[in-house]
Chain A
Amino acid sequence: MLFNSYEFIFAFLPAALLGYFLLQYTRSALLPKLWLVGSSLFFYAWWEPAYLPILLFSVLFNFGAGSYLNRDPSNGGRRKKSALILGVVVNILLLGYYKYAGFLAENLSLLTGWELEVEEVPLPLAISFFTFQQIAYLVDAYKGAVKEHSFLNYLMFVTFFPQLIAGPIVHHSEMMPQFARKDQSWLQSGNLAQGLFVFVNGLFKKVIIADTLAVWATKGFDVLPSLSFGEAWFTSLSYTFQLYFDFSGYTDMAIGIALMFNIRLPFNFNAPYRALDIQDFWRRWHITLSRFLRDYIYIPLGGNKMGAFAVHRNILITFLIGGIWHGAGWTFLFWGFLHGVAMVVHRVWSKSAFSMPEWVAWTLTFLFVNFAWVFFRATSWGDAMKVLKGMVPGWNSFGFSLSSLGAPEWGWALWGALLLSILLIPNTNTLKERFTPNLPYLLTGCFLALVALLHLDKISQFIYFGF
């Protein structure tokens, strides 16, 4: 079920909220949680019921493995290490089978000449997200860092529907204690008001901005055989903004919905296109993924406590994994590689005595991110090169007309307005923190909600649902 659909907004969400809070009157700690778990599983199965057993298997397996690892936190013997390795391997195999088997077989066939054929299996929704969350749980259980052991709370941690499909990638230590708290189980109008406001913000971002830009980005990347200079830049910029508004819109909606249930999800974005360097960008973009990669890949590899070569190697490995996590394809891997190299360059630069004006730093960072997104978006090298060639002055024609993209001529002005809005208007995090239930917020919220709801016939999937 999509957050930006009538059935979710007018049927599922009100029913889930009402059921959850009405069941609190039974004074049972179990029933509201069961309702929430049931709602979340229904939400997940709505898309494709066949995926539900995979999710349930993953939850049961990881909770079992976690319980074993939790049994005696002080005892970190070989058996526990073997159990941890087994747990992580099973998770990676599950992810690998569904996400990477075809890609691996195809490339092995190319390399060796063997005829390896893997039956194409549809990717279960959210598998990358719930697998990562649970690997983190296993590692922390091994370290003895898991404090909460209730199966129901664990089930809620993994399946809680606002974050189940596309994050934020939550950590058990920030979620399970919230589910265990009893003082937040009643409806809180403050959270509900704030949650509604954040939700409609996200809905507007997705429905009005991202979906409008998507049409032009798709045309440029997937339809037109070649692009003029203007078209290529407009295509790549459209995608750069589409991705941000799509994913941050989804995250806002997730945070808003969770808030209605009195649950606080972590921020995932903090105005990433205002970053002044690539490290800054990764502190602002998909923050929960960066946190996972840092804590569970970069630091275990040695982090920055080693020599320069090893640190740079660790950065590259971390970003390559980050790239391939997004999808089984060379373009994703190359995108991760580009960011890894950029991080290394940044690290070398920041240790030197050189500096540059802020506006130059911002422009370079933004242009690099925009360039790298071309590989992230393109479905093949050919498509990526088509857009990049067009972006080079003199390679193709030098027109600025946008008619072949189906964009209005004032599209450039729209792009300028979007850029300014990203740089100047407070982002949702700030708006959320500043939120007070007053008339300006009420009118803004109503306006955003009405405009978005009356545009809902352009239903489209979120980009990160595919990862």
Chain B
Amino acid sequence: MGSKRFVTYFLSIVGGSLILVFIFNFIVDPFGVERTFLKKGFNRYKEAFHMNTRVTKLPLSEGIDPEILFFGSSRTEYLAPEQVLSSEKRARSFNFALSGGMPHEMRDMLEWAIDRYPVEEVYYGIDFISLTDRTPEYRKGFDHELVDGKQPLWAGEARFFLTFTALRKSRACIEQNRKDPDGSGVKYQYNRHGSRTNRWRRMMLEERGKEWFVERFARTHEQFKKQYADEGLSLSSEKMQAYKDIRRICQREGITFRAFVPPIHFSQFRTLLGSRSFDLYKEFLRFLGRNGGFYYFERNEGLMKDSSLFWDTQHARRSMSRNIIPKVKNPGGSGKDRFRGEEVESLLQWLEARKKLTSEMKNESFGRGRDASFEDPGSVCVK
């Protein structure tokens, strides 16, 4: 074999193999990156391989080059506020919010994003639960870029190469899916702006039927009640510090920072007001008030119609962001919605009144239409 042939064969074999890997990835698309077709026999179950949200977010943001970033927990993630902004075609935005997203994770992601994108504004949907010591650390066990500096599944420059590490991680995900088929954190799909889409839920509904989501509804509601009813709950100083760090970083970089309290589902809001954690919730709001202020909305309980999330008891609806985002964007627009320092007391008084009202409502129904799903979600879902 001459040198020319050696070079030709070498480049053909290596290049050809890499192209095969690319084709495999493109067709099977185990992480749902390529957003290609869904076909039984090829990639029908790709959702089962879907990566942990913490690994997915960073590469998803690449290519968007966002100027406006959203951070927060799943309450911001479901809210999909960036879609409101995108519809105005005003700016490129990306939603970094994560299920169980902790302030220190958000801080790390913010620093990661500042290094790469021309960030101008940051919106932080800070969730009461994410400042307590009780939220599980989902990020543990996933050695993604933020934790150890390694590139995640795909190198940003050539994400079509499914590497051995990616395969190993996908196996870990499959394993986790087996252990916890309905668990959080591993099998969500995202739109291109990084907000969670509902396709997986719909597929599960088709596959497992009504009983599955009735059971799921009851379980998440119970889980929420348990979280707030726990007497040992307290605010975490580490997480509070991380929140302060985020504000400080934005200040240092000349980035506009706006915090808001994202809405939660009506039934959950009611639970919160009546729970043992209510005093802690007030402390949480005072803390936000002391640290630069925040936006809060009268209809924070999120009693809005939204067909996509009606069996989810923890989150408010996407359409809520249409009310929220314009107010957060224009600080002068509605003074009543913004609370700083002392002003928080007026909000707390209003909440006390709500609490009273809530206890009076205790035996009343939740309203009409979709919210009857609390009593029997199945009757509304299957259409």
CA distance A326 to B36 in the complex (A): 51
Among B11-19, B253-261, B340-348, the stretch in contact with A: B11-19
Contacts of A5 on B, CB cut-off 8 Å?
A: 155, 157
Q: Chain B residues with Cβ under 8 A from A189's Cβ?
A: 2-4, 6-7
Contact A449-B3, Cβ < 8 Å, known A456-B155, A456-B163: no
In the complex the two chains form, what is the Cα distance from A453 to B153 in whole Å?
14
- In the complex, chain B residues whose CB is within 8 Å of the CB of A449: 10, 14
- The answer on a CB contact under 8 Å between B3 and A457 is no
A446 touches B13 (CB 8 A): yes
Instruction: Determine the residue in chain A with the shortest Cβ distance to B167.
Output: A454
Residue of B152, B161, B162 with highest tally of chain A CB at under 10 A? B161
In the complex formed, the residue of B with least CB distance to A215 is B148
A457/B6 contact (C-beta < 8 A), A449-B14, A450-B14 known: no
Q: How far is the CB of A195 from chain B (nearest CB, A)?
A: 10
User: Which chain A residue lies CB-closest to B17?
Assistant: A450
A7 — nearest CB in chain B belongs to which residue? B157
Known pairs A453-B14, A455-B165; A441 contacts B6 (CB<8 A): yes
1/0 contact trace for A10-31 toward B, CB 8 Å? 1100000000000000000000
State the CA gap A446–B3 with chains docked (Å).
Answer: 15
Q: Contact at B5–A437, with CB atoms within 8 Å?
A: yes
A5 to B161, CA, bound (A): 13
Q: List residues 154-179 of chain B with CB under 8 A from any CB of chain A.
A: 154-155, 157-158, 161-166
A439's nearest neighbour on chain B, judged by CB, is B1
- Given A437-B2, A458-B150, CB of A453 within 8 Å of CB of B10: no
Measured between beta carbons, the chain B residues less than 8 angstroms from A456 are 155, 161, 163
Q: Which residue of B lies closest to A9 (CB)?
A: B158
Whether B21 sits at the interface, judged by CB under 8 Å, is yes
Contacts of A455 in B (CB 8 A): 163-165
Q: Which of B240-256 contact A (CB under 8 A)?
A: none
Q: Is B350 an interface residue (CB 8 A)?
A: no
Tell me if B161 and A454 are in contact (CB < 8 A): yes
**A189→B5 CA distance, assembly (Å):** 9
Decide yes or no whether A102 CB sits under 8 A from chain B: no
Which A residues lie within 8 Å of B14 (CB)? Answer: 446, 449-450, 453
A153 to B253 Cα, complex, angstroms: 44
Contact with B along A194-231 (1 / 0, CB 8 A): 10100000000000000000000000000000000000
| Bound CA span A455–B167, Å | 11
Q: Is B237 an interface residue (CB 8 A)?
A: no
A196 to B5, CA, bound (A): 13
Distance between Cα atoms of A450 and B5 in the complex (Å): 19
B9 within 8 A of A: yes
Taking CB as reference atom, which chain A residue is nearest B13?
A446
**Cβ B18 vs Cβ A453 within 8 A:** yes
CB contacts under 8 Å to B, within A409-465, are: 437-439, 441-442, 445-446, 449-450, 453-460
The CA of A458 and the CA of B151, in the complex, are separated in Å by 6
Q: Are B17 and A196 in contact (CB under 8 A)?
A: no
A437 contacts across to B, CB distance below 8 A: 1-3, 5-6
A interface residues, tally (CB under 8 Å): 28
A457 touches B166 (CB 8 A): yes
Inter-chain contacts of B17 with A (CB < 8 A): 446, 450
Cα distance A456–B162 in the bound complex, in angstroms = 10
CA distance A309 to B228 in the complex (A): 79
Chain B residue nearest to A438 (CB atoms) is B1
Contact flag A457-B163 (CB < 8 Å), given A192-B7, A437-B6 = yes
Tell whether A136 is near chain B: CB-to-CB under 8 Å: no
- Number of B interface residues, CB 8 Å? 28
**Given the contacts A442-B9, A450-B14, A457 and B1 also touching, CB distance less than 8 Å:** no
Q: How far is the CA of A438 from the CA of B9 in the complex (A)?
A: 11
Which chain B residue lies CB-closest to A211? B150
Which of the listed residues A7, A437, A457 has the most CB atoms from chain B within 10 Å of its own CB? A457
Q: Do A459 and B155 touch across chains, with their CB atoms under 8 A apart?
A: yes
CA of A190 to CA of B5, assembled, Å: 10
- With A189-B4, A190-B3 already in contact, the answer to whether A454 and B10 are too (CB < 8 A) is no
Complex: A5 Cα to B150 Cα, angstroms: 12
Contact A6 B158 (CB under 8 A): yes
Query: In the complex, A6→B157 CA distance in Å?
Result: 7
A193 in contact (CB, < 8 A): yes
A459 with B161: in contact, given A437-B3, A446-B10, A446-B13 (CB under 8 Å)? no
Contact B165 A193 (CB under 8 A): no
Q: What's the Cα separation between A453 and B162 when bound, in Å?
A: 10
1/0 contact string of B1-41 vs chain A (CB within 8 Å): 11111110110011001100100000000000000000000
Q: What separation, in Å, do the CA atoms of A259 and B7 have in the docked complex?
A: 14
Whether B6 lies near A193 (C-beta < 8 A) is: yes
Q: Least Cβ distance of A154 to chain B in Å?
A: 31
CA–CA, A405 to B153, complex, Å? 24
- Closest A-chain residue to B162, C-beta based? A454
Could you tell me the distance in whole angstroms from the C-beta of A311 to the nearest C-beta in chain B? 46
Q: How far is the CA of A459 from the CA of B145 in the complex (A)?
A: 11
Instruction: Tell whether, in the assembled complex, residue B151 and residue A457 are in contact, meaning their CB atoms are under 8 Å apart.
Output: yes
Check A442 against B6 for contact (C-beta < 8 Å): yes
Q: Decide if A196 touches B152 in the complex (CB within 8 Å).
A: no
Q: Shortest CB–CB separation between residue B21 and chain A, in angstroms?
A: 7
Contact across chains for B157 and A442 when beta carbons are under 8 A apart: no
Please determine whether B10 and A193 come into contact, CB atoms closer than 8 angstroms.
yes
**A-chain residues with CB within 8 Å of residue B155 when the two chains form the complex:** 5-6, 456-457, 459
Which of A7, A190, A441, A459 is within 8 Å of B150, CB to CB?
Answer: A459
Chain A residues positioned under 8 Å from B5 (CB to CB): 437
B-side contacts of A439, CB under 8 Å: 1
Q: Which of B7, B10, B150 contacts A457 (CB 8 A)?
A: B150
Interface residues of A in 83-133 (CB under 8 A from B): none
Chain A contacts for B6, CB-based, 8 A: 189, 193, 437-438, 441-442
Is the pair A457, B153 in contact by a Cβ cutoff of 8 Å?
yes
Pairwise interchain contact B165-A457, C-beta atoms closer than 8 A: yes
A193: chain B residues at CB < 8 Å are 3, 6-7, 10
Q: How far is the CA of A305 from the CA of B164 in the complex (A)?
A: 57
Least distance between A44 CB and chain B CB atoms (Å): 19
Q: Which residue of A lies closest to B158 (CB)?
A: A6
Q: Answer whether A445 and B21 are a contact pair too, CB < 8 Å, given A189-B3, A456-B155.
A: no
Contacts of B9 in A (CB 8 A): 442
CA distance A460 to B162 in the complex (A): 18
A299 to B339, CA, bound (A): 75
Q: Which of A190, A445, A453, A460 contacts B161 (CB 8 A)?
A: A453
Contact, CB under 8 Å: A196 / B10? yes
A165-206: which residues lie under 8 A (CB-CB) from chain B? 189-190, 192-194, 196
- Decide: A192 and B3 in contact? CB cutoff 8 A: yes
Contact present for A445 and B163 (CB under 8 Å): no
Q: In the complex, how many angstroms separate the beta carbon of B145 from the nearest chain A beta carbon?
A: 10
A194, B5: Cα distance in complex, Å: 12
> Which residue of chain A is the closest to B152 with respect to CB atoms?
A457
Interface string of B319-348 (1 = CB under 8 A from A): 000000000000000000000000000000
A445 partner residues in chain B, CB cutoff 8 A: 10
Q: Apart from A442-B6, A442-B13, what are 9 other A-B pairs with CB-CB below 8 Å?
A: A5-B157, A189-B2, A189-B3, A189-B4, A441-B6, A454-B21, A454-B163, A458-B150, A459-B155
Show 22 A/B contacts (Cβ-Cβ < 8 Å), sorted by A.
Answer: A5-B155, A6-B158, A7-B157, A10-B158, A189-B7, A194-B3, A196-B7, A437-B1, A437-B5, A437-B6, A442-B13, A446-B13, A446-B14, A450-B14, A453-B14, A454-B161, A456-B161, A456-B163, A457-B150, A457-B151, A457-B154, A460-B150
Residues in chain B within 8 A of chain A (CB atoms): 1-7, 9-10, 13-14, 17-18, 21, 150-155, 157-158, 161-166
Across the A-B interface, the 6 shortest Cβ-Cβ residue pairs: A437-B6, A189-B3, A193-B3, A6-B158, A193-B6, A190-B3
